[in-house]
Amino acid sequence: MKRLFSNKVRAVLVLAVIIALALAIVNNVTTFDLPNRIVQGILVPLRTGMNNLNTRAEQFYSYMFRYEALVAENEALKERIAQMEDNARTADALSRENERLREAANLLEQRESYSLVDGYIISKNSTDWNSILTVNRGTSAGVDVGMVAITSTGEVVGLVIEAGSNYCQVKTVLDSSLEISATITSSGNSGMVQGGYSTGTEGMLRMNYLPSNAIIRNNTQVVTSGSTVYPRDLVIGYVVDAGFDETGVVKYAILRPAVDFDSLEQVFILTEYSNEG
Amino acid sequence: MAKRKTDFMPDPQGTGILSKLYMTYQQRMTILRWALYTITCLVLLVAQDVLLCDLKLFGGSVNLAVSMILLICAMQDLETAAVFALVGSCVYLFSDAAPGPYVIVMLTVLGVAEAAFRQSFLRRGFGSSVLCAGVCLVVYEALLFGIGLFAQLTRIGRFWAFLGTTIQSLIALPLLYPLFAAIGKIGGKTWIE
């Protein structure tokens, strides 16, 4: 009887199964990621180049087809500059007052201990349950796996899960596999925040394991509780809904992420911080 | 007996590294063809990550990597398709765009299956290649959704996002075909139907 596949094709099929099994085991047991680094080493310069081309194309399009809008935007910006110049004149007095408030509160003093590396997002990669950003800063800039990515205003973007010499990959808070210990600021109740894909609230976050007597109000701010990975008091999101979970024993809250991921362009990687104070 | 100057002297056999690196015209064309396939796939993969990731239909974005792998497999002979599907799925996985190592098995098996079916029952051309790749694409997305449900990584309500991804990826197939067909013509036909 004629065989359906040649030996070569059979060998390829067997090899595919072996590679998949080996990678599944290696990924679970070790942190070996050399093949990923090689492929990313090829893709990152291409992504950076295409990102720059895209930006240039958008600028060219704006120049060609949005001239009147740009003139209006320019006028608005001039007004804003005038307003900011006015604000700057009163900034010295406010700055001194602010300095005193900082010493009293100690909160922002803690943030002064932050050491940040800024980077631009060069690609957004998302499957149904994954949400990963590639940022153009890597180990050569001091970025390493396990560091936290935030916005310029201290909102949590995600966690660095892979770092090459010139890039890093950030798993965002929207990813359902990322869990963050968090606290509701108004009540002090703590829980775990994770992405909402697997719970029917895609694009939102879900805060689990809240005590049954927790008082949860809409628009309440939720911040990080502080751990070896996440500093304290970074904003994660705002409560939009709450209820009892399937067991009926504990409560959960649905959060709107503090970060607008659609318009996010730049992130700051927290290379050093202190939870003291 | 001593050799005379008029005796037949054979040409020296090439044993140097340059003679070993010599390639025939057909081999050079084959390398050029696969180099162009590789570059095109990488550029389209990057274009998907940078430009097309925000283009959503029912919450799902296009999956060009899988479309490319399945379409090229449908246009090749069985053995070439098997090797390409294996290598392509590995690169897809290592680019961190794939959901897990199981896609290597899924894409290799689907690539082999479609190449075997098309080679056995259909002539190589636009309709047959796009049809085979399209059917395999639907099967791939359905399997992926099934695995996601089984592993509780997604939920039934996300079906529309998978449908959006499938529809956009299906639309990409006929658009990609002329590009890959043009590259496939380099070096002439490597096998006869």
Verify whether the Cβ–Cβ distance A6 to B78 is below 8 Å: yes
CB–CB of A8 and B82 under 8 A?
A: yes
Distance, in Å, from the CA atom of A172 to the CA atom of A194, rounded to the nearest integer, reads 10
What whole-number percentage of chain B has pLDDT above 70? 86
Contacting residues of A for B60, CB less than 8 Å apart? 128
Which of B38, B42, B50, B107 is the mutation pick for testing A, counting most A CBs within 10 A? B50
E strands of B129-192, at which residues?
A: none
The mean per-residue pLDDT over the stretch B148-175 comes to 85
User: What are the phi and psi torsion angles at B179 (to 5°)?
Assistant: -65, -50
Looking at the complex, report in whole angstroms how far the Cα of residue A148 sits from the nearest Cα belonging to chain B: 19
pLDDT at position B62 is: 83
**Average pLDDT, integer, range B141-145:** 89
Provide the pLDDT for residue A217: 85
User: Which range among A241-250, B33-42, B100-109 shows the weakest confidence by mean pLDDT?
Assistant: A241-250
User: Hey, what amino acid is at A246?
Assistant: E
DSSP β-bridge partners for residue B185: none
Cβ separation A6–B153 shorter than 8 A: no
- Name the residue of chain B whose CA is nearest to A58's CA: B51
- Give me the pLDDT at residue A65, please: 76
Element holding A193 (H helix, E strand): strand A190-195
Q: Please check the confidence at residue A189 and state whether its pLDDT lies above 50.
A: yes
pLDDT higher than 80, residue A196: no
- Output the six-digit token pair for A106: 């100690």
Subunit contact A169:B96, Cβ cutoff 8 A: yes
* Count of beta carbons in the 10 Å neighbourhood of residue A273: 19
Residue-wise DSSP of B42-101 = HHHHHHHHHTGGG--BTTB---HHHHHHHHHHHHS-HHHHHHHHHHHHHHHHHTT-SS-T
pLDDT tens, position by position, B65-117? 899 999 999 988 888 899 999 999 998 888 877 888 889 999 999 999 999 99
Which of B183, B45, B155, B93 lies closest to A19, judged by CA? B93
Of B46, B90, B157, which has the smallest distance from its Cβ to A43's Cβ? B46
Q: What is the pLDDT of residue A26?
A: 83
* Cα A139 to Cα A147: distance, rounded to the nearest angstrom: 11
Interface mutation target, options B104, B109, B149, chain A, most CBs of A under 10 Å: B104
Q: How many pairs of residues across A and B have Cβ atoms under 8 Å apart?
A: 128
CB-based contact, B156 to chain A, within 8 Å: no
- Give the gap in angstroms from C-alpha B151 to the nearest C-alpha of chain A: 10
Are A128 and B161 inside 8 Å of each other by CB?
yes
ipTM, 2 decimals? Answer: 0.77
What is the CB-side half-sphere exposure of residue A256 using CA atoms within 13 A?
9
DSSP string, A109-134: HHHHT-EEEEEEEEEEE--SS--EEE
The chain B residue lying nearest A21, using CA atoms, is B101
Cβ pair A123:B49 closer than 8 A:
yes
Closest by alpha carbon to A43, among A140, A145, A159, A125?
A125
Nearest chain B alpha carbon to A123: B50
Q: Which two tokens stand for residue A114?
A: 């932050």
Would the pLDDT of B135 be above 90?
A: yes
Q: Does B43 touch chain A (CB under 8 A)?
A: yes
The pLDDT assigned to B174 comes to 92
Is the model's pTM score more than 0.90?
no
CB B53 within 8 A of CB A124: yes
Round to whole Å and give the CA distance between B47 and B68.
Answer: 13
CA closest to A161 among chain B residues: B96
Say if the Cβ atoms of A21 and B49 lie within 8 Å.
no
DSSP one-letter code for A206: E
For the stretch B126-152, what's the b/e string if a residue is b when 16 or more beta carbons lie within 10 angstroms of its beta carbon? eebbbbbbbbbbebbbeebbebbeeee
